[in-house]
Chain A
Amino acid sequence: MATAAASAVLLAATACGGSSSSGSGTSSAPAVSGSATSGTITWWASPITTSGSDPRTVLIKKFEKAYPKIHVNLQSAPTDTDTNRSSLITTISGGATSPDVYMGDVIWPGQFGKAGLAAPLSKYLPKSYFSQFAPGLAQGATYNGQVYGAPFFEDEGFLYYRKDLLAKEHMKVPTTWQQLESEASTLTKKKDAKYGYVWEGDSYEGLTCDFMEYLGSAGGTVLNSGMNGSTLNSAAGKKALSFMQSLITSGASPKAVTTMQEPQAMSAFASGQSAFLRNWDYGYSYANTASSPSKVVGKVGVAPLPGFAGGTSPGTSTIGGWNLYINPHSKHVAADLTFIKWMTGATAEKTLATQFSEIPTLQSVRTSSGVVSSNPVLAAAAKTRLIPRPAGTPQYAKVSQAIYTNVNSALTGSAQPGPALSSASSAINSAVSSSGSGL
């Protein structure tokens, strides 16, 4: 009896509570154009690097110098992307006005745009703002005709190799997957390295990224142009998956790649156990910095990923990286826009590139000679062919899960490429066709 009464009271409290959460700002101009204003905004961002100075605080300091009336409060987000996302989903769908701006994955726009978890930036910012970015980046942040994310820094897959081992065996940097496979097998047979080639084969988002690269090089796609049906179960799909499987069966890659995510692959390479590595932008500085736990400092080269023999070279690299989004409940949209414009502007992008070797999103900064020459990764990035994940559909998470669980099954040998692809294909179809009801 007492319990029922008590809960009724609370239910009533919830019902009439409205949004009473405290904003931390002082004031905000009603006009939302992105021009200078004043106030305090909260920026939710996960750590970008692990050692040295924190790029987040470096950039905030520079921004506050440029806009002394705006104060930015950094809230550090969980480093695990899924954990980060679930925290944001709870917070924003719960109606919180803080954080105002958040750094989020490039694959979120479809889902977040549809669910109203991000504000459409293209309502506030002109087309000319979005056209400054490298081709495809703003397009990748678009859902239903609106751009939801401002490209903050980009990332993509690279091939890292051991210069010393290739020189010892008189090998060239591979430009085709087949060449990579044979060189990797030879290096392990000659005991130059324990493993030939390590990459991300665990059952998670990273495997989708890796798979997309083989698929793209083979000329395949995941979804049709209407984004409502799977095109995965194709000759190109089979070529991609069979090749990935053969990497393991031929001994070029160890069986252990089926449990590797970026950290495990990176550490196998940095500890000198592997001759080749597929990883993101951070791999170069990680392997080549004496302060990190690397045994291969100075012996590491970087190149665009190979393509298939007879196809285009270089192969395709999956687009990764982070966008800046605005919380639709933010009470400081004008200040948020000012902040976002500055963070994606030339000063910030140049700082990210030259000081922290992140890949800039602004086309002008990306191709400027000062940036390209500052770092071999940025030089390699200028030559890659980029391929996006099919994140334009709000059901991307399910599409990706269908890919990585089935590809992982094929890699561990519990499924053949054909059945694995058709199983992935039917899961994708049921996800994108019926507006995604299903588990």
Chain B
Amino acid sequence: MRHSSRRGWRRAVNGVNVAALLVFLFIALPLYWMISAAFKTPEGVGASPPQYFPHHLSTKNFSIAFSQFTFGQYIVNSVIVAVSATVLILVFGTLAGYALGRTPMRGRLAVLMSLLMISVFPEIAVVVPLYALLRDIGWLNSYQALIIPYTAFFMPFAIWILRNYFLGIPREMEESARIDGASPLRTIWSVILPQAWPGLFTAGIFTFTACWTEFLMALSFNIVNGYRTIPVGVALFGAQFVVPYGTIFAASVVAVVPIAVLVLIFRRSVVSGLTAGSVKG
């Protein structure tokens, strides 16, 4: 008995598990610091020496975020904008990524390079002319004022990601589908996509978080409170000389919820997709 339990202990303390624990601490400790600050009282947040465990748990920071600011509205806006842009990018980006990765289209390289150029162009330089463009078509203060620019500016890199994964899928299955007379769209849908889950997931996560965290366009294009997103909303917290860490972190904790929900929804496909082919040992 003793022998086997010791062997069990040894098995738990193998290199992989120890490394995973270190990774866990690396990611989780700063997060713990943020979450615990969100539940601290204002004195607790600014206490010196810092309170490693909050002395008094308080939900005041959360109530401030929701009562003094229309934080619920900001979350809804962020979700609408980020989900719409992500869906558009994944649909259009998959088609384009497939075309650029798998078809002998002429000028492929030029297109790929142009896409790279667009995704590296600093946002600060395009905000002002883009504002004028949106004003002229009457789109300021609307959801599309963010959805369309996000789609356009974040799609180039998503196409690069998707193309990269499509390149790695063996050609044989695609050819057999074509011989069976399947249309190109049908081939993408039933042959390519099921294999490209990890790529789609990566591109989707990239896009969603890019939209979720974008600040400058959201700040400039939608100045009506009803269309503001979370990053802009958080910038309204406090006052000129006051940084309310507690409230900001409470808002951030809440802002994680939609991401968590998304991950839960896609958990099966994502996690299985990301680990199905993994090699044990």
Which residues from chain A sit less than 8 Å from chain B, CB to CB?
10, 13-14, 17-22, 44, 46-50, 75-81, 83, 86-87, 90-91, 93-96, 98-99, 194, 261-263, 266-267, 270-271, 273, 279-280, 282, 286, 292-293, 295
Contact = CB atoms under 8 A, between A and B. Distances in A.
Contacts of B232: 78
A21 B138 contact: yes
B132 interface: yes
A273 B48 contact: yes
B46 A293 contact: yes
B236 interface: yes
Question: Interface residue tally of chain B, by bracket?
Answer: 20 to 34
A119 to B, nearest CB: 19
Contacts of B220: 86-87, 90-91
B238 A13 contact: no
Contact of B132 (A44, A47, A94, A262): A94
Mostly, the A contact residues are: loop
A110 to B, nearest CB: 20
Interface in B129-176: 131-133, 135-138, 140
B46 A79 contact: no
A19 B135 contact: yes
Contacts of A99: 223
Contacts of B131: 90-91, 94
Interface string B44-85: 011110000000000000000000000000000000000000
A266 B140 CA distance: 39
Nearest to B40: A293
7 contacts: A20-B138, A49-B239, A50-B244, A90-B127, A90-B220, A271-B46, A282-B241
Given A17-B136, A96-B135, A293-B45, A47 B235 contact: no
Nearest to A90: B220
Given A10-B133, A94-B132, A99-B223, A47 B45 contact: no
A91 B223 CA distance: 9
Contact of A46 (B137, B140, B240, B244): B240
B243 interface: yes
Contacts of B127: 90
B223 A75 contact: yes
A154 B49 CA distance: 35
A99 B127 CA distance: 19
